Chain A
Amino acid sequence: MAHERCHWSRFRLKSRSQGTVDQLKTIGRELAMGSQGSSKDFLDLVKAIGEAKSKAEEERIVLAEIELLKKRIMEPDVPRKKMKEYIIRLVYVEMLGHDASFGYIYAVKMTHDDNLLCKKSGYLATTLFLNEDHDLIILIVNTIQKDLKSDNYLVVSAALTAVCKLINEETIPAVLPQVIDLLGHPKEHVRKKAVMALHRFYQRSPSSVSHLLTKFRQILCDKDPSVMSAALCALFDLVSSDVKAFKNLTASFVSILKQVAEHRLPKAYDYHRTPAPFVQIKILKILALLGAGDRHTSENMYSVLLEVLKRCEPGKGEPATNISNAILYECICTITAIVASPKLLGMAAEITSRFLKSDNHNYKYMGIDALGRVIQINPDFAEQHQLAVIDCLEDQDDTLKRKTLDLLYKMTKSTNVEVIVDHMISYMRTLSDAHNKTEIASRIVELAERFAPSNQWFIQTMNQVFELAGDLVPAKVAHDLMRLLAKGAGEDDEEADSLLRSSAVESYLQLLGEPKLPSILLQVVCWVLGEFGTAGGTHSADDIIGKLCDVAEAHPGDTVVKGYAITAITKICAFEIAAGRQVQLLPECRSFMDDLLASHSTDLQQRAYELQVFLGLGPDIVQKVLHVNGSGEEIEIDTDLPFLQEFVDSSLANGARPYVHENERFEMSSGMSSFVSTSRTQQEPSHALRFEAYETPTVHTPSASSSAPPSLLPDFQEKKPESPRSLRNQLAADNSQVDLLGPEITRLRLDGVQKKWGRPSAPSQPPPVTTSNFDQEIERSGNGGSGVSERASSNRESTPAVHVYTEKKKAQPEIPAEKQRLAASLFGGSSGKRDANGVKGSKPAPNRPAAGNSKEKIPSTAQAPAPAPLMDLMDMGGGDLFSAPVAKASYDPFKELEGLLDGPSTAASTSTPAAPQKSSSIDFMSLYDSTPVVSHNTVPSTNDHDFLSLGLTSSSGIEPMNRPEAGLLDLNEFPANSPLAGLAGLEQSSSSSSTSLPERKGPSLQDSLQKDATTRQVGVTPTGANPALFQDLFG
């Protein structure tokens, strides 16, 4: 026998009621023996399967069993006991993965049996076999209806269990009345299950029980706690779907939780001496929903939360039980979800620390999760635990590692993006399954696009992602990368662009040495080599063409790569010809071309023919058609085709019918046809009116653009002058596919990406800006007295982040240097600062003026040579962050400020006139954006949240990889800045799509910070990475 009997001493417990257990032991034993007697066949089956040497043997045994069962089960007059056994064997067979559908009907039949045990077995089998939409269900409904009315409570509860699985939306009404009746059943056991069944109905079809919502409230008052706890499951679902409707239950939940925590329930509900822990957990979850973003409701929970926390703390010398930790963790979730008091936050932080310091992996995991929640409110908190986080990151436990990467992903900003992405990439190397790889690849791409410190880094990172995740990366990412290279960082800095391109070319040439590359990366490589391979002058055309031929040869089956390769060769040849050099195709290249000329793929053939044609053309024409670095050009399409106006006019003059727009045409024709159908007679004269619409006029593209100047129609509504598509454009379009010709959306998005690499042209002397405006703002937010302002103040008083890594080393010699370095680069902070901070979260925030004064004493950081006035104004602990934005706001800061303080509506209008001097308005936005001192009250906020969502949706339009957490975080943390960010983002992206790109780029710290601001302001990052909250931490 393969399965050994084993001792489960690990989980044996001292039983509290020994008598019952003894009795049950014998029952259990007897049952085991008894079933042995009655179903020897079954035991033999189990035994045979257990002893099977191979999967094939097992298969054979099971198939034989199925045959046997098929035969036996269909025999007439099978005794019910036998039948029950057959059914059980069927279930077993199906659990092993074999189809037992031939026996379903017998299981259904068994539910009709009068014998309870048979009935139960029948129900068990049907619930396991059938889904709620199975055809056989209809045969059971009647039985269930009958059983629900049974006066034997065991029958009723068996039927209720079946109801949960088998009843679908259509059959709910059939059993609903009975189930509702059962809510008044004398046995709590039945009431409990009836509540569960109702809950299930709600999950299946909320409308079916919508009239019963008050019932759930009533059940909450059931005299039996177990029924009440069943109602909590349902209420949790109800509350999460509509919080507002259940706000008035808050007091009830609080009082229930209080009673439970104070041990008022019978001892029977204790679990490991914790009173009804599952009830506590459920209520805490519900309270988290109710209190989110609602100060008043939250305040009602403070005392009970304190009570729960106090009661769950382990006594002296004894370790906390698992279940009390479960409650503590749930408390953290609740505290971080509601508008909590500083005291509660402090306690949450304390428990989180304890979890993180635990040796138990489970608690560490919960600790990392809790940390992620706590730092959303108090970002300083992460720093105290940087080493614990790094421990978890390096842990061999995959779950823990992933959770920690999740946390880091949420904390990423431009100062630590390199380290974090590095970690993600090395983690990706260890992965083998596609799902996780795809996910982490998309995260890396997202972070890289948002926070890349330099274009070089971005390209390198992307290459690594492509290399590791290969074709799991969406093609769009590759197109964006190509587009970035094509457009460069801006038109003003050709030198940097060409440097970037040549570095890309170099890295790709190197990459081609690798044996196995994913198709998508090869496509990028081919395109880049074709476009820029010879541009730098370091590589000869023959070199590059040779490489491209190699690529194509190495991937004979990949037509896409081949297409990219042949087009790249075409381009290089064209550049050569245009430059006046003679092109002599390498023999291998010629044979490659010949191959493609005869290819089955018409696409490849077409490309090859184009190459052939080019080789025969003179430099003049080639230069016109395909000129160097033409890929960055915008191709504009004018759907109105104004150059045909002349033709149209003359046609009209000659009596042609005027063009009818498609929509109108449809209406007309449908109206006509109805008219026609009623009145038209059978015979139709040959010259009768034509009722069907004219065909859409086919447009012949003129051979030269000069023949029809667009000036013919100067006042066309949308200025999209058509320049006829040249072959050059066509080629470019072929390569970059959707991107260049694609709809606005794709274009917008990349512009957003581009923008981030702009280097701010910050003057060295930032202009003095008056403090008064901001003080006012702070004052106002102080009136709100919300957690936001408290947080802000605690941020402000903390010291600016400086890399004092050496200091830290001295302080804690036992920590390996490697780890500290990692910590420093991740968190940017120092542990030397830790002592000063203490348990920051637990301290109530100092009052506002004091914080304002103290901040002035703080020395400015090394990286930020920004003068004092600036710090005065904006200092959140790291003035460097704001120096650049403020500097750029120098155009007219006051005007902008006014606009801001007026709220979102005017902000939109003020920034519109400012659009021409785009940099000014945008940067000011970013400055504002990174100021968390504005609380709810600053914005006239009746539709505060509407604005928010507007901001969010618009931003997700621009940046599809928006994080899901963003919404929540925003609502809770930065309610006022987001709408503006969203607006600014909208405006900026729309203007940047038509106007020029940012001037420069560069990897300095200021730049990256500036970039943070810009990113956010594009509407992409209304997330936890808000620098004003995080800067102290990660400096």
Chain B
Amino acid sequence: MILASLIMNTQGKPRLTKFYEHLSVERQQEVLRAVYSVLSSRADNLCSFVESDDIFGPDTKLVYKHFATLYFVFVIDNAESELGILDLIQVFVETLDRCFKNVCELDIVHNFNKVHTILDEIVMGGQVVETSSAEVMKAVQDIWKLERVGDLNPANVKGIGHYRNSRS
């Protein structure tokens, strides 16, 4: 399963953290520091996997991608496919990019509750639940429309909730 999804910038500031098994706030910070120190010491052309048994326990790996000023990191155990997760990161970032045109670090900082929503559509309880960027878009779109409706009158909310769409 996926143990955690993290986004941090190249200075080590967390931009989004989600742990699928609960960790105390202190432990989370330790983990973030450890992950950052590992990632920042790695050159760009190296492989995207780091064995992290010293951080997360035996048989865990960090799978990460470095985009511009951000690291996208997924912590996985050996029931996940490393290369598959790399593509999952790709899906995640593509989705972000669709939502925030030319997504950048700032978008993620400012809208991190929305980024959480997107991530929740992709990974749920540590399992990959959706891998199609378009499908994720549809789901978050439904939610976001609510915000556009503005004053959130219950009738509208209900209407949107029942808006049906199915896959092509």
Residues A165 and B125 in contact in the complex (CB < 8 Å), given A3-B69, A271-B131: yes
Asked whether B53 lies within 8 Å of A435 as measured between CB atoms, the reply is yes
Q: Name the residue on B nearest A23 (C-beta).
A: B141
Asked whether B111 lies within 8 Å of A32 as measured between CB atoms, the reply is yes
Report the Cα distance A322→B147, complex, angstroms. Answer: 37
Asked whether B147 lies within 8 Å of A271 as measured between CB atoms, the reply is no
Report the Cα distance A272→B94, complex, angstroms. Answer: 13
Asked whether A92 lies within 8 Å of B68 as measured between CB atoms, the reply is no
B33-69 interface bits toward A, Cβ cutoff 8 Å, 1 = contact, 0 = none: 0000000001101111111011000000000000111
Of A32, A196, A240, A323, the contact of B110 (CB 8 Å cutoff): A32
Report the Cα distance A161→B116, complex, angstroms. Answer: 11
Residues A11 and B67 in contact in the complex (CB < 8 Å), given A3-B109, A361-B46, A400-B47: yes
Within 8 A of A (CB), among B74-122: 79, 81-84, 86-88, 90-91, 93-94, 97-107, 109-114, 116-117, 120
Query: Could you say which interface size class chain A belongs to?
Result: 35 or more
Report the Cα distance A501→B32, complex, angstroms. Answer: 50
Contacts of A397 in B (CB 8 A): 42, 46-47
Asked whether A8 lies within 8 Å of B25 as measured between CB atoms, the reply is no
Q: Name the residue on B nearest A323 (C-beta).
A: B87
Asked whether A361 lies within 8 Å of B69 as measured between CB atoms, the reply is no
Asked whether A8 lies within 8 Å of B47 as measured between CB atoms, the reply is no
Q: Is A615 an interface residue when CB atoms closer than 8 A count as contact?
A: no
Contacts of A436 in B (CB 8 A): 54
Asked whether B9 lies within 8 Å of A3 as measured between CB atoms, the reply is yes
Q: Is A99 an interface residue when CB atoms closer than 8 A count as contact?
A: yes
Q: Is A35 an interface residue when CB atoms closer than 8 A count as contact?
A: yes
Asked whether A435 lies within 8 Å of B104 as measured between CB atoms, the reply is no
Interface centre among B20, B43, B126 (most CB of A within 10 A): B126
Asked whether B143 lies within 8 Å of A154 as measured between CB atoms, the reply is yes
Number of interface residues of B (CB under 8 A): 92
Asked whether A27 lies within 8 Å of B130 as measured between CB atoms, the reply is no
Asked whether A12 lies within 8 Å of B97 as measured between CB atoms, the reply is yes
Report the Cα distance A160→B127, complex, angstroms. Answer: 14
Asked whether A399 lies within 8 Å of B99 as measured between CB atoms, the reply is no
Asked whether A365 lies within 8 Å of B49 as measured between CB atoms, the reply is yes
Asked whether B148 lies within 8 Å of A30 as measured between CB atoms, the reply is yes
Contacts of B81 in A (CB 8 A): 281, 285, 326, 329-330
Q: Name the residue on B nearest A26 (C-beta).
A: B101
Contacts of B143 in A (CB 8 A): 116-117, 120, 154
Within 8 A of A (CB), among B116-144: 116-117, 120, 124-132, 134-135, 137, 139, 141-144
B159 to chain A, nearest CB (A): 10
Q: Is A88 an interface residue when CB atoms closer than 8 A count as contact?
A: yes
Asked whether B135 lies within 8 Å of A226 as measured between CB atoms, the reply is yes
Contacts of B107 in A (CB 8 A): 28, 32
Q: Is A36 an interface residue when CB atoms closer than 8 A count as contact?
A: yes
Contacts of B101 in A (CB 8 A): 25, 28-29
4 tightest Cβ-Cβ pairs between the two chains A and B? A164-B125, A131-B22, A326-B83, A152-B161
28 contacting pairs across A/B (C-beta < 8 A): A5-B104, A7-B102, A10-B68, A24-B141, A32-B100, A32-B107, A91-B113, A96-B14, A97-B29, A117-B152, A120-B117, A128-B116, A153-B161, A193-B124, A196-B124, A196-B129, A199-B127, A233-B128, A267-B168, A277-B131, A285-B81, A323-B83, A326-B87, A360-B47, A362-B49, A362-B86, A397-B46, A398-B46
Chain A interface residues toward B at CB < 8 A: 1-8, 10-13, 15-17, 20-21, 24-25, 27-32, 34-36, 42-43, 46, 50, 88, 91-92, 94-99, 114-117, 120-121, 124, 128, 130-132, 151-155, 157, 160-161, 164-165, 187-189, 192-193, 196-197, 199-200, 203, 226, 230, 233, 236-237, 240, 266-269, 271-272, 277-278, 281, 285, 322-323, 325-326, 329-330, 360-362, 364-366, 396-400, 402-403, 433, 435-436, 439
Chain B interface residues toward A at CB < 8 A: 1, 9, 11, 14, 16-18, 20, 22, 25-26, 28-29, 32, 42-43, 45-51, 53-54, 67-69, 79, 81-84, 86-88, 90-91, 93-94, 97-107, 109-114, 116-117, 120, 124-132, 134-135, 137, 139, 141-148, 152, 154, 157-158, 160-162, 164, 166-168
